[in-house]
Amino acid sequence: MKIKALKGFKDILPGEVELWQILENTARTVFEQYNFHEIRVPVLEETALFQRAIGDTTDIVEKEMYTFVDKKQTLRPEGTASVLRSVIENGLLVQKPVQRLFTIGPMFRHERPQKGRLRQFHQLDIEVLGSKSPLLDTELISLAAMLFSELGIHVSLELNSLGCPKCRPAYREALLAFINERKDKLCSDCQRRSETNPLRVLDCKVPADRELMADAPSIQEWLCEECGDHFNAVQQGLERLGIPFRLNKFMVRGLDYYCRTTFEFITSDLGAQAAVAAGGRYDGLAELLGGPAGTPGIGFAMGMERIILLMQQSEKDFQESVEPLDIYIAGLGDKGQKEASRLAWELRQDGFSVGLDYEGRSLKAQMKLANRENASFVFIIGDEELATGKGVLRNMRDRDAEQMELELKAEAFYFLDDLL
């Protein structure tokens, strides 16, 4: 029997991977413009890390984690907890009191696979530790907005505040009172949530529940003075930068660690999988994980699969940014192939990308291959070229261009640098 990839685990094949590389390169450029530094953390961590950071009553911890039960280890379902663990363990905040970090890589969640939802998926993850300024919240949101605009993707921004341990409990009570008045009409999940994590009832996707909760009290009206000021400052900051947003009192995010600002970038172009990026403040989390007391933090994650789907739908032509092969050398016959492989070695050392073939194919077949590899130039080495020590360089992009005779050595190709 053939062995196939696991359900929800997907290969990213040549032809498709170029789009991933464009996404990664664009993201790295933007992260650099925003003065972020890369951190790479393991994909496997102690289960307790995610239980403590994400929260026991969240969807992720309750039902989505890949856990080795015997070893008490879990494949990371998200990046924040691991990045914080690493920052604390390595004392990075002692070296630099504000850490601006990004990480890119796979995450694992055992959920029902569908379009834009996988079991191994990828995130671009941004985390900042050590600053509580609302200007930072605005800056992070602007970073995401800039990346989306670079990628030619249209998304809209939703904003909420979850308050803090000072003001949230009173809101929770008010919300609970509202929920309890209609509890028997809510779905069974929400009835359970109302006891464990009532804010998550606001997040329910069941249409009937959404209707029942439409007039629920808004946390935005229960914020304490500090949280209210912070929330206003973030909104004013976004207005200053001209970044449009919509307030959404229902957006509570599924993770326990958030406080104050939460935000999501959503799209209407992907059916049910609407969120492309999501994040928020987590001021208490570093301390909860054993870090210095009072260390504020904020971060967000972008789902790369969903961004790729949007890039495929975007009007922007990404094919243009795919690097073609510089030169394809068609070696004919045994000696021709050997000379081709020697010239390729020289040209590659000079920085050119070079393709060739060892299967002794005909010139016609090799020209076809060169075309398929999207080579900019082709250089043929057959008996005549071997005899004269010269060959003709064909310009594949501009067929009318003058054909040039070149010696079979790398120096002869130097001028190509300007043409490529």
Nearer residue to ligand ATP within complex by CB, 265 or 413: 265
Interacting residues of 132 by C-beta distance below 8 A, sequence separation 6+: 283, 296
Under rule CB under 6 A, residue 277 binds ligand ATP: yes
For residue 109, state whether it binds ligand ATP (rule: CB under 6 A): yes
- In the complex, least distance from residue 111 CB atom to ligand ATP, rounded to whole angstroms: 5
**Which residue from 374, 377, 284, 288 is spatially nearest to 330, judged by alpha carbons?**
377
Report yes or no: 103 and 39 within 8 Å, Cβ to Cβ.
Answer: yes
Sites for ligand ATP among residues 245-264 (CB under 6 A): 254
Query: Whole-number minimum distance, CB 318 to ligand ATP, in Å?
Result: 19
Q: How far is CA 314 from CA 151, 157, 317, in A?
A: 8, 18, 8
Share in percent of the chain as helix, strand, coil (round to 5): 45, 20, 35
Residue 120 CB, shortest distance to ligand ATP, in Å, is: 8
Distance CA 239, CA 236 (A): 5
Return the number of the residue (199 or 340) whose C-beta is nearest ligand ATP. Answer: 199
The minimum distance between CB 305 and ligand ATP, in angstroms, equals 5
CB of 109 to ligand ATP, least distance (A): 5
SS3 of residue 271 by DSSP = coil
Other CB atoms within 10 Å distance of the CB of residue 130:
18
Contact call for residue 125 and ligand ATP (CB under 6 A): no
Is-contact 279 263, C-beta < 8 A? yes
Should residue 123 be labelled a site residue for ligand ATP when binding is judged by CB under 6 A?
Answer: yes
- In whole angstroms, the minimum distance from the beta carbon of 202 to ligand ATP comes to 13
Provide CB contacts within 8 A for 396, sequence distance 6+. Answer: 370, 371, 375, 376, 377, 378
Residues between 21 and 80 with contacts to ligand ATP, criterion CB under 6 A? 78
At its nearest, how many Å lie between ligand ATP and the CB of residue 175? 20
Nearer Cβ to ligand ATP (275/325): 275
CB of 64 to ligand ATP, least distance (A): 8
Q: Least distance from C-beta 2 to ligand ATP, angstroms?
A: 25
Instruction: Please report whether residue 273 would count as binding ligand ATP according to CB under 6 A.
Output: yes
Q: Which stretch binds ligand ATP (CB under 6 A): 116-124, 217-225, 309-317, 382-390?
A: 116-124
Q: Near ligand ATP by CB under 6 A, which window of 112-120, 140-148, 165-173, 345-353?
A: 112-120
**Measured distance CA(147)–CA(102) in Å, rounded:** 14
Please give the Cα distance from 170 to 402 (Å, whole number).
79
**Candidates 138-146, 188-196, 234-242, 268-276; binding stretch for ligand ATP (CB under 6 A):** 268-276
Laid out side by side, the sheet with 404-407 consists of 354-355, 325-331, 375-381, 390-395, 404-407
Closer Cβ to ligand ATP, 198 or 303, answer by number: 303
Instruction: Give min distance, CB of 360 to ligand ATP, in A.
Output: 45
Q: Quick check: 209 binds ligand ATP (CB under 6 A)? A: no
Beta strands in 155-286 (DSSP E): 156-161, 246-247, 259-266, 275-281
Nearest to 23 by CA among 113, 123, 116: 123
User: Which tokens in the block code for residue 387?
Assistant: 């005899």
Q: Which stretch binds ligand ATP (CB under 6 A): 93-101, 232-240, 300-308, 400-408?
A: 300-308
- Which of these segments, 16-24, 183-191, 272-280, 342-350, binds ligand ATP (CB under 6 A)? 272-280
Of 116 and 297, nearer to ligand ATP (C-beta) is 116
CA 329/CA 342 separation, integer angstroms = 10
Distance in angstroms (rounded) separating the CA atoms of residues 220 and 78: 27
The reply to whether 111 sits near ligand ATP by the rule CB under 6 A is yes
- The Cα 202–Cα 216 span in angstroms is 8
Q: Of 127, 158, 305, 385, which lies in the binding site for ligand ATP, with binding defined by CB under 6 A?
A: 305
Answer for which of 121, 231, 377, 413 binds ligand ATP (CB under 6 A) is 121
Give the one residue of 301, 327, 340, 375 binding ligand ATP; rule: CB under 6 A: 301
Sequence-separated (6 or more) residues with CB below 8 Å from residue 154: 148, 267, 269
Query: Partners of 85 in the beta sheet?
Result: none
Q: Which of 212, 278, 370, 381 binds ligand ATP (CB under 6 A)?
A: 278
| Residues that bind ligand ATP in the complex, under the rule CB under 6 A | 78, 109, 111, 116-118, 121, 123, 254, 273, 275-278, 301, 303, 305-306
